[in-house]
Structure formats: C-alpha cells, structure tokens
Structure 1
C-alpha cells in the first residue's frame, strides 16, 4: 500500500486575478483569497470600486495582499496590458477567476435583441477566453495553475426572455470543458462554477417577497445563497491539492438544478 500523501491546501503567496471583483461574488472571492494569504488582483470596469475593495481587504488585516486595476474585459488590448501589469507587479500569475458579468434581458422578437446579444457574448464568453489566453504564458510557469470560470445555472437550463445570457453561460461550460482537455497535459486545471440564485447586484432588483416565493418554490434549501458561499467553492477549485479535478461543472445553487417539482 502506498503511503498517505498530504497535499497542499494553501494558496498563500499565490497570485490570483479576479475579474468583476468590485462587488458580489468577485468581491467575496477577492476577500477570501487575500484572507488565505494570496496576492489578489482586484479588477473591474472602474478604478474607484476596485480601490474600495482593496481598502476593505487592507483594513481587515489579512495575511494576503491586494491591488486594484480598472479593466474593461470587452477590450482585448486592455486585457493584454493589465494581465501583463499584474504579472509584473506580483511576479507571475497562478490563479485566474473569470467572474465579470451582467444581465440584460433579450426578447428575440425585438430589434433591441442585438443590443443584448453582442455585449453579453462579448463580456461573458469571449472575454473568458481572452483572459485565459493573456494569462496562459504566466500560468505555464506556475506549479499549481488554476482557472475557474463562473457560469450560472442558466448554463444548465434556461428561463424565458434571457437567451443571450443563457447562450453565454452554456458557452462558458463548453469553453471550460474544451480547455480542460487542451491544457490538462500541462497540469493546468480549468473548472466551472454555476451559481444559482445568489444575493448580488444582478438580483438586487428582485423584491424580498419574490425572492422568498421563488426560493420556497424552486430551491430545496428554501433561500437565496450569498456571495461568500460561491467564493468558498471557488477557493476549493484553486487549491494546489485540487490537482486532479478539471473540466468539472459545479452547481452552487441550493439544489435548484436537481429539483423536479
């Protein structure tokens, strides 16, 4: 019998890029990674909210480090520039969390559908592969390179009037699986998390009454989740010990996707 091998469950000192980190699940992930001792690049569309998250992390007195970068993930040139700056500042890249996103409803019968389709696919699918490609030279130099794409339970099903978002999130799952196969031989893992109903900016517009009704009807745990619950699953995926898990699609949804009625 082979002796027991204790695998590394620490990301202390690892360099992590988190997109969409100014709020919601991205913010929670940045906080958690820094609390675990990582060096975290907090990126989002505008500088000021990123600076605010960095200030929160610094005020918490955690062992890790955080720095802020404004990044429009729909801008391919900006992606290349910012990823390079992050790698130069922190000395490399070990972890990439593609989290940036938004929700624009789209009625396929309306002329405005294109206004939803283009930006949605650009930010929530094309940007994922562009971030990965920009980070790849640095990830290849890491001894525990990890990529996590944040999709949605909309990538496992669909709700009415939301097809651009649904298409993007299905695409994220496909991209995750394809790149897991392509990069597996290099020891780079690529996994995907599918959050269900989570209390974020996207769901802020839903009243508490309707949140409660929906959760009691659709979610076995009978509540909405919080960003920290998603962030902790993300952490599990990026541990050095998570070295033989790749191409996984993990719902964090309170059981929504398994409930038949």
Structure 2
C-alpha cells in the first residue's frame, strides 16, 4: 500500500490578484487570503477605496500583505499594464480571482437596453478573459497556479429584468469550462463560484423585509449569506491541495438552486 501523501492547504507566500476587491466578496477574499499569508493585489476602480482595504489588512496584522492598484477591467491596456506591474512588484502571480461586477436592470423592449448590455458583458465576461490572458505567462511559471471566476446563481438560471447580467454569468461558466480544458496541460486549474443571495453592495438596496421574505421562500438555509462565506469557498479552490479540481461550477447559495418548491 502506498504511503499517505500530505498535500498542502497553505497559500502562505502566494501572490493573488483579486478584482473588485474594494468591497463585498472581493474585499472579504482579500482579507481572508492575507490572513492565510498570501500577498494580495487589491484592485478596483477607485484607488482610495483600494487603499482603504489595504489599510484594513495592515491594521489586522495578518501574516500576509496587501498592495492597492486602481484598475478598470473594461480597459485592455490598463489590464496589461497593471498585471505586469503587480507581477514585477510582488514577484509573480500564483492566483487570479475574477470578481469585479455590478448589476444594471434592463428591459429588452427599451432602446436603453444596450446601455446595460454592453458594459455588463464587458466587465463581467470579456474582462475575465482579458485578466486571464494578461496573467497567463506568470501563472505558467507558478508552482500551483489557480484561477477562480466569480459568476452567480444567475448563471444557472435567470430572473426577470436582468438578462444582460444573466447572459454574462452564463458566459463566465462557459469560459471557465473551456479554459479548464485548454489550460489543464499547463497545470492551471480554472474553477467558478456561483454566489446566491449575498449581502453586498449589489443587494444593499433591497429592503430587509424583502430579503427576509425571499430567503424564507427560496433558500433552504433561510437567510442571505455574508461575503466571507463566499470567500472561504474561493480559498478552498486555490489551495495547492485543490490540484485535481478544475472546470467545477460551485453554487454558494444556501441551497437555492436545488430547491424545487
């Protein structure tokens, strides 16, 4: 019988890029990764908000570190420049978490529909492949390269008045599966997290009463999640020991997608 092999569950010393890290799930992931000893590149649109997250992480005295970069993921040249600077500053790239996103309601019957469609697909689908392409040369040099794309349970179904977001999130799942096949030969794993109802900036505008009604009706755990609960699943996907997990689409939704009635 072969000896038991101890696989590493540590990301200490790894370098991780997180997009949309100034708030919500991205911020929670940045904190968690730094607490686990990683060196985190906190990226988002607003430099000041990124700096604030870095200051929070520094004040927490985690074993890891964080630095801030302002980044508009709809801009290809900005992505190339920032990713190259991150790799040079932090000494490579081991982990990429594509998390940036927003939600704009859209009515297909209205002339304004493409005002939602174009930026939604640009930021929440096209940007993922731009980030991956920019980071790829560095990931290929990493010992345990990991990519996590954050989609949504909207990528597993749909809801009214939200079709650009739904289309983008379905696309993220397809991109994840396709790249898991393409990049497997390089030892790069590509997985997808599908959060359900989470307490983030996107859901802040929903009144608490409506959150409670929705959760009791649709979610077996009968509540909204906090961002940290999603961050921990993201961490699980980027561990060195997660070496045979790729192309996975993982709902973090309190059971929402498996509830029939």
TM normalised by structure 1 equals: 1.00
Match of 2:148 in 1: 148
Are 1:94 and 2:94 counterparts?
Answer: yes
Match of 2:116 in 1: 116
Are 1:194 and 2:201 counterparts?
Answer: no
Secondary structure of 1:250's partner? strand
Q: CA–CA distance in 2 between the matches of 1:110 and 1:211? A: 28
Are 1:133 and 2:133 counterparts?
Answer: yes
**Any residues of structure 2 matched to 1:104-253 within 5 Å, and which?**
104-253=104-253
Match of 1:47 in 2: 47
Q: Which runs of 5+ in 1 are unaligned?
A: none
Q: CA–CA distance in 2 between the matches of 1:166 and 1:2? A: 47
TM normalised by structure 2 equals: 1.00
**Any residues of structure 2 matched to 1:15-34 within 5 Å, and which?**
15-34=15-34
For residues 66-114 of structure 1, give each alpha carbon's deviation from its aligned partner in whole angstroms, at most 9, with x where no partner exists. 0000000000000000000000000000000000000001100000100
Q: CA–CA distance in 1 between the matches of 2:64 and 2:143? A: 19
For residues 121-165 of structure 1, give each alpha carbon's deviation from its aligned partner in whole angstroms, at most 9, with x where no partner exists. 000000000000000000000010000000000000000010000
Q: Cα distance, 1:185 vs. partner?
A: 1.0
Q: Cα distance, 1:42 vs. partner?
A: 0.1
Q: CA–CA distance in 1 between the matches of 2:42 and 2:127? A: 16
Q: CA–CA distance in 1 between the matches of 2:201 and 2:2? A: 49
Match of 1:37 in 2: 37
Counting matched residue pairs gives 261
Q: Cα distance, 1:31 vs. partner?
A: 0.1
Q: Cα distance, 1:2 vs. partner?
A: 1.4
Q: Cα distance, 1:238 vs. partner?
A: 0.1
